[in-house]
Amino acid sequence: MGKTIPEQPFASRAKDDRSTAHNSSYNERNDAIIKAATMLIARDGYEKASMRAVAAEAGVSPASMYHYFDGKEAMLFTILFRAFSGLESNLRMKTHLIEDPLEQMRIMIAEHVMFFANDMDGLKLCSHELDSMRGKAYEELHRIRRSYYHHTREIVNNLVKKYNLKVCDSHVATMSLFSSLNWLYRWYDPHTSSRSPAVLGKLFFEQFIGGLTGSELLQQDNGEET
Amino acid sequence: MGKTIPEQPFASRAKDDRSTAHNSSYNERNDAIIKAATMLIARDGYEKASMRAVAAEAGVSPASMYHYFDGKEAMLFTILFRAFSGLESNLRMKTHLIEDPLEQMRIMIAEHVMFFANDMDGLKLCSHELDSMRGKAYEELHRIRRSYYHHTREIVNNLVKKYNLKVCDSHVATMSLFSSLNWLYRWYDPHTSSRSPAVLGKLFFEQFIGGLTGSELLQQDNGEET
DNA sequence: ATAATTGTCGAACGCCCGTTCGGGTGTTTG
DNA sequence: CAAACACCCGAACGGGCGTTCGACAATTAT
């Protein structure tokens, strides 16, 4: 009993960590289930996407699903964990050796957009279905998410410091940036749009930096209103 | 048969338009249901929020719900219709007599944030649950949403024209603005935050205008990269 | 007073859900 | 060769869902 929440430090594994075994058929099926679940949950939402539908899409029986995952929630956890930690570790890796915060910022935005373009459904779930998780699983995902936020926020702070920007509220600025990135799944499809992910990242970067540095259009009567 | 989708021009009414009648108890119950449904769907999501739970929250029996709404989807439609059309008509009203697009933009952002602060759950549903609608109901809501977008986009275009901004992509700029506004429900609570809606609107406005006009930080080597 | 309409609800219907059970296959291990 | 194990699934369980039905009160119209 108590199968739904694994015991100790929580990780991205499925039911057991068979990733070291030389059994390839297991991992193939596992990935097929993850892929089917990601697509269907992105399309229909977590509650509406049924285990039966995921099983049919993945080509297995509903009962076999429980060979690979403890349950529906554990399945969603695996999807979100992979996406969130991939995003976070990629950011850490790509900005590690860069010193200029402006360049770090450019990389962060470009990498996030690229990451989205490569896994639209996965990142949609990160934005849309995180609240479907409860308890320790939610906390673990939220921890990674917060780490990603802190990393970005630190870049913003260094940016403000280095270039002496008179930014009023770096929290709001950072949240606005995340808004643009997380809202992508609502309107942007790299396979359809005329804008490439690289171009879009550049636009976001310029907008964000412009938003941080302010505009001369607003210099006229700053300070009061009737 | 065919009760779920009303026949002709679709409107924000419940089952019948009893708003002209002098029966106050009917409208009170109706509003109580809408209020309960908005809260519960915002908290649990459309699929997870059950008619039984909404009925209990509103203080009626599950069966009585169907005196006021044709079904669950019609109930959500009413909520979304009120929020969307309120947002849209308010924008039209407030910018109608203003000529300067800069001032129009300031008003649009400030009004949207105010609107959110006054109906957080409603606007959360607009962002989160629109996809739960199907068919004609979805199309009607989408039409209002698009009208709101077009109105805003027009302001942006006039802004660019009047002040000779060299903005690269006004669609991306407008979507970024909507991102910031629609993402509010994820992190901002006017009752808890130290920032008032007015302050937040001002910050958004400044960021957006700064993002449109660009930054001198980026002037160095624009045009190529290795 | 009587008929018609409106509002209310307990009970139930039929459906789909996540999940489990028990028993099948193969395949590896001693 | 037999035991152990990984894998797979048809069938079922218990429960919650949206919705409907039919009867009963309350109000309004005639």
B29-45 tens-digit pLDDT: 999 999 999 999 999 99
**Start-end of CATH 1.10.10.60 domains in chain B:** 18-69
Which bases in strand D are touched by protein, i.e. have an atom under 7 Å from a CB?
Answer: 6-12, 16-22, 28
pLDDT digits (tens, 9 = 90+) for B114-155: 999 999 999 999 999 999 999 999 999 999 999 999 999 999
Determine the CATH number of domain A18-72: 1.10.10.60
- Give chain B positions within 8 Å (CB) of A180: 175-176, 179-180
A182/B180 Cβ within 8 A:
no
pLDDT at B20 over 60: no
In one-letter notation, the amino acid at residue B74 is: A
Q: Check if residue B190 sits with its Cβ under 7 angstroms from strand D.
A: no
pLDDT at A3 over 90: no
Spacing of C-alpha A165 from chain mean position? 28
The count of other CB atoms within 10 Å of the CB of residue A163 is: 15
- Smallest CA–C1' distance to C12, residue: B63
Q: Check if residue A149 sits with its Cβ under 7 angstroms from strand D.
A: no
pLDDT digits (tens, 9 = 90+) for A94-119: 999 999 999 999 999 999 999 999 99
pLDDT band at A18 (very low <50, low <70, confident <90, very high): low
**Start-end of CATH 1.10.10.60 domains in chain A:** 18-72
Cα dist from A89 to A82, A83, A106, whole Å = 10, 10, 17
pLDDT digits (tens, 9 = 90+) for A199-209: 999 999 999 99
Q: Which two tokens stand for residue B142?
A: 């989408």
Question: What local confidence, expressed as pLDDT, does residue B22 receive?
Answer: 53
A211/B206 Cβ within 8 A:
yes
Is A85 buried (19+), middle (13-18) or exposed (0-12) by CB count in 10 A?
A: middle
Question: What local confidence, expressed as pLDDT, does residue B82 receive?
Answer: 97
- Residue A179 is nearest to which of B45, B128, B180, comparing CB atoms? B180
pLDDT digits (tens, 9 = 90+) for A50-78: 999 999 999 999 999 999 999 999 999 99
Interior/surface letters B31-48, b for 16+ CB within 10 angstroms, e for the rest: ebbbbbbbbbbbeebbbe
B175/A187 Cβ within 8 A:
yes
Most A-contacting residue of B181, B206, B208, B220 (CB-CB within 10 A), to test interface: B206
- Give the CATH superfamily of A74-213: Tetracycline Repressor, domain 2 (1.10.357.10)
Determine the CATH number of domain B18-69: 1.10.10.60
**C-beta separation of B69 from B5 below 8 A:** no
Question: What local confidence, expressed as pLDDT, does residue A6 receive?
Answer: 38
**C-beta separation of B204 from A195 below 8 A:** no
Q: What are phi and psi of B81, to 5 degrees?
A: -60, -45
For chain A, the average pLDDT equals 89
**Start-end of CATH 1.10.357.10 domains in chain B:** 73-213
| B39 contact partners, CB below 8 Å, separation of at least 6 | B57, B121
The count of other CB atoms within 10 Å of the CB of residue A103 is: 12
Interface of B with A (CB under 8 A): 45, 47-48, 102, 128, 131-132, 163, 168-169, 172-173, 175-176, 178-180, 182-183, 186-188, 195, 200, 203-204, 206-218
pLDDT band at A220 (very low <50, low <70, confident <90, very high): low
pLDDT digits (tens, 9 = 90+) for B162-188: 998 887 799 999 999 999 999 999 999
Is B73-213 a CATH 3.90.1150.10 domain? no
Min Cα separation B29/chain A (Å) = 29
* 3-class DSSP assignment, residue B68: helix
A178/B178 Cβ within 8 A:
no
Handedness of CA B45, B51, B54, B56 (dihedral sign): negative
Residues 15-44/A with CB within 7 Å of nucleic chain D are: 18, 23, 25-26, 29
**C-beta separation of B12 from B82 below 8 A:** yes
- Whole-number Å distance between alpha carbons of A211 and B203: 10
Question: What local confidence, expressed as pLDDT, does residue B32 receive?
Answer: 96
**Start-end of CATH 1.10.357.10 domains in chain A:** 74-213
Helix (H) or strand (E) holding B47: none
Torsion of CA B131, B132, B133, B134, to 10 degrees: 80
Kindly state the DSSP code that residue B75 receives in the 8-state scheme. H
User: What DSSP string runs through B145-208?
Assistant: HHHHHHHHHHHHHHHHHHTT---S-HHHHHHHHHHHHHTGGGT--TTT-SS-HHHHHHHHHHHH
- Residue A209 is nearest to which of B204, B212, B215, comparing CB atoms? B215
pLDDT digits (tens, 9 = 90+) for A155-184: 999 999 999 888 779 999 999 999 999 999
pLDDT at A132 over 50: yes
CA at B82, C1' at D15: how many angstroms apart? 35
Min Cα separation B214/chain A (Å) = 4
pLDDT digits (tens, 9 = 90+) for B49-73: 999 999 999 999 999 999 999 999 9
Give the E-state strand segments of A37-151 in sequence order.
none
CA at B64, C1' at D24: how many angstroms apart? 14
Mean pLDDT of the region A22-43: 91
Min Cα separation A18/chain B (Å) = 34
Question: What local confidence, expressed as pLDDT, does residue B16 receive?
Answer: 54
